[in-house]
With several copies, the nearest count.
Chain A
Amino acid sequence: ACGKDDKADKNKKTDNKTAEKTENDLLAKVKDDGKILIGTEGTYPPFTFHDTNGNLTGFDVDLAEEVAKRIGVKAEFKETQWDAMFAGLDAKRFDMIANEVGIRPDRQEKYDFSDPYITSAAVLVTNKSNTKVKSFEDIKGLNSAQSLTSNYGDMAKKYGANLVGVDGFQQAVELLAQNRVDVTINDKIAYLDYTKQKPDAPIKIVATGEDASSSGFMFRKKSDTLVDSVNKALKDMVDDGTYKKISEKWFGVDVLK
C-alpha cells in the first residue's frame, strides 16, 4: 500500500465503522428503515398460514405484527421454506423469524431468541385403529414419522422409535392414515388444528408429554438491541392483555405457560 491507496483505505475504515454500528445496533437499523423484515413459512397453520382470502395470518403473524407496532415500525413478512428461512436470516435478508421456532440449546448456540411466547405439549399420535400403543414407552422399535425441523424427532429417538423423515405434520398424518408408519410425535396445537380441518381423519392422541417446549422469535447473534425491545414489547403485551386477546383468538385459551 503506497500513498495513493491511503485515502481509499481511510474511506473503507469509516465505511466499516458505520457498517459495524448498524450491525451491532439492529434496532437502530430497523427504525431507520421503518420496517422489520420477518421470515416465516406461511404454510404452518394455525401459526403462520394463508386464510381463504389468501392473506398471511396466524398466531405468530399476529404477535409479530403487534410487536412491530409497539417498536414503531412496519412488519414486512417474507415467506419461504424452512431451510431458506435460516439461510435468509444468516444472509441478513430477514431481521427476525416468526415461525413457532422451538427454543433449543443447539439453536441458541447459533441464534438469539426472544423470551418464549408460547408453550405447547408434545402429543403421541396413532391411527384410530391402533390399540397397542398407549404411552411413549410403547413406541420402542416402531416407525415414527418425524419432521427434520422439530425437536419431536429427538424425543421419538429417545423412546427408541425408528425415525421416518417427513417434511411436515400433514405428511406424517397421511402416512399414519395409510398405516405406513405407526406413530408420530408432534405439537398438540398443530394436531388440534388439523383435526378441526379434517374431523374425519383416522388419527387420535394416545399420550401427552409431560415436559412442554416453548417457542420464541429467532434472531441472528448480536441482535441484542432488537431482542431487548422485542422482549419489552412482548412483556407489555402480556401485561396489558393484548397477548391474551391474540392467544384466545387463535386457541381459545392462554398458551403462554
Chain B
Amino acid sequence: MYLNSIFADPERTARLMDIAKTSLQPMLEGAIMNTIPLTIISFIVGIILAVLTALARISQGKVLRGIAGVYVSAIRGTPLLVQLFIIFYGLPNVGITLDPFLSAVIGFSLSIGAYASEIIRAAILSIPKGQWEAGYSIGMTYAQALKRIILPQAARVSVPPLSNSFISLVKDTSLASLVLVTEMFRRAQEIASRNYEFLLVYTEAALIYWVICFFLSVLQQYMEKRLDRYV
C-alpha cells in the first residue's frame, strides 16, 4: 500500500527522491565532522580507561578495586543520556563548564571505559596463568608481563565483544546532540523538521550508520584474522 501510494503519486515520489538527495550532503557532513571523530576519540580514550579499570578490578588493592567497581556499576547502571545531561548541564552548577564536544567525549569515554573494562577483565582472566608464570620465570615484572605477554593475547579474545561496543558507540553518539554537538542524527532531525518526512530521512540516516558500521565490521574481521595468525 505504501509503495503503491508512492508510485501511484508521481509528484510525491519526486518530492521524496528530491529530499533523499538533498539531505545526503548535510548528513554526511555531520558524520564526517562530528559523528566519526567523536566515535574514534571516545573509543580510544575509553579503551585506555577500560584497561586501567580492568587492572584495578583484578588488583590486590581493596580501595582501588572498590573505586573501579563503583565506577563500573554507576556507569552501566544509569542511562548515558542522564550522564551527558549531568556532565553538560549539571557540572556548571559546581563551577565546571565544559565545551560541547569535550563533554561528549568525556561522557562517551566514561561509558566505553565501564562496559569495555568488563570485557577486558574477562579476557585477561581467560589467559592461562602459565603465561604470567612463563613471563615471571624469565624475570619479567608485572608490568612487563602484562604489556608483552598478557594484553596482546587478551586482545585476540576481546576483539569481537569490543566491536559490539564500538558499533554501539557509533549510534550512541546521536545523543551528543543533547550537548549541542551537531552530529549526523541531529542533521537528520533538522532536515526532517523542515520537510516533515521523518520516516524517510531517519531511514536514510540509518543507512549511513549501516555503512559506517559495515566498515567497522570489516575492520573487525581483519583484526580477528591478524590476531588469529598464530593460533
Q: Which residues of A contact B (CB under 8 A)?
A: 42-45, 49-52, 54, 78-84, 86-88, 90-93, 106-107, 110-111, 148-149, 164-168, 170-171, 173-175, 178, 180, 194, 197-198, 200
Query: What's the nearest-Cβ distance from chain A to residue B200, in Å?
Result: 10
Chain A residues with Cβ below 8 Å from B164 are none
Asked if B97 and A178 sit within 8 Å, CB to CB, the answer is: yes
A45-B178 in contact (CB<8A) = no
A-chain residues with CB within 8 Å of residue B12 when the two chains form the complex? 200
With both beta carbons as reference points, the residue of chain A lying nearest to B178 in the complex is identified as: A84
Cβ of B165 < 8 Å from any Cβ of A? no
| Chain B residues packing against A (C-beta within 8 Å) | 12, 22, 26, 85, 88-90, 92-93, 97, 177-180, 182, 186-187, 189-196, 198-199, 202
Q: Is the CB of A86 within 8 A of B198?
A: yes
Q: Residue B177 contacts which of A49, A80, A168 (CB distance < 8 angstroms)?
A: A80
A92 and B92 within 8 A (CB):
yes
| A94 smallest CB distance to B (angstroms) | 10
Q: Do residues B179 and A80 form an inter-chain contact, with CB atoms below 8 A?
A: yes
Query: What residues of A have a CB within 8 angstroms of the CB of B97 in the complex?
Result: 91, 93, 178, 180
**CB-based contact B194/A45 at 8 Å:** yes
13 additional A-B pairs beyond A84-B198, A93-B89, A93-B92, beta carbons within 8 Å, are A50-B190, A51-B194, A52-B194, A79-B180, A79-B182, A84-B179, A87-B85, A91-B89, A174-B89, A178-B89, A178-B97, A197-B194, A197-B195
Residues of B within 8 A of A90 (CB): 89, 93, 196, 198-199
Complex CA–CA separation, A22 to B162 (angstroms): 48
A-B residue pairs in contact (CB < 8 Å), sample of 25: A43-B189, A49-B190, A50-B191, A51-B194, A54-B187, A81-B177, A83-B189, A83-B192, A83-B193, A83-B202, A84-B179, A84-B198, A86-B196, A88-B88, A90-B199, A91-B88, A91-B90, A91-B93, A91-B199, A164-B180, A166-B180, A167-B177, A170-B193, A173-B196, A198-B196
Are A87 and B198 in contact (CB-based, < 8 A)?
A: yes
Residues of A within 8 A of B180 (CB): 78-80, 164-166, 175
> Nearest chain B CB to A177's CB is how many angstroms away?
9
A51 to chain B, nearest CB (A): 7
Question: Across the interface, which residues of A come within 8 angstroms of B198, CB to CB?
Answer: 83-84, 86-87, 90, 170, 174
In the assembled complex, the Cα of A79 lies from the Cα of B176 at a distance in Å of 11
Given the complex of chains A and B, what is the CA–CA distance between A78 and B89 in angstroms? 13
Shortest Cβ gap from B144 to chain A (Å): 46
Docked CA distance A197–B201 (Å): 15
In the assembled complex, the CB of A22 is this many whole angstroms from the nearest CB of chain B, namely: 14
Q: Find chain B residues with CB under 8 A from A168 CB.
A: 193
Task: Specify which chain A residues have a CB less than 8 angstroms from the CB of B189 in the assembled complex.
Answer: 43, 83, 148
Given contacts A43-B193, A44-B193, A91-B89, is CB(A165)–CB(B199) below 8 Å? no
> Is there contact, CB below 8 Å, between B190 and A54?
yes
Rounded to whole angstroms, the CA-CA distance of A97 and B182 in the bound complex is 19
Contact B178 A91 (CB under 8 A): no
Nearest chain B CB to A149 CB, angstrom units: 6
- With A91-B92, A93-B92, A178-B92 already in contact, the answer to whether A84 and B85 are too (CB < 8 A) is yes
User: Which residues from chain A contact B202 at a C-beta distance below 8 Å?
Assistant: 83
- How many Å lie between the Cα of A79 and that of B178 in the bound state? 9
Closest CB-CB distance, B83 to chain A, in whole Å? 13
Which B residues touch A171, using CB under 8 A?
89
The CA of A90 and the CA of B2, in the complex, are separated in Å by 11
Determine the distance from Cα of A26 to Cα of B88 in the docked complex, in whole angstroms.
21
* Minimum Cβ distance to chain B for residue A158 (Å): 15
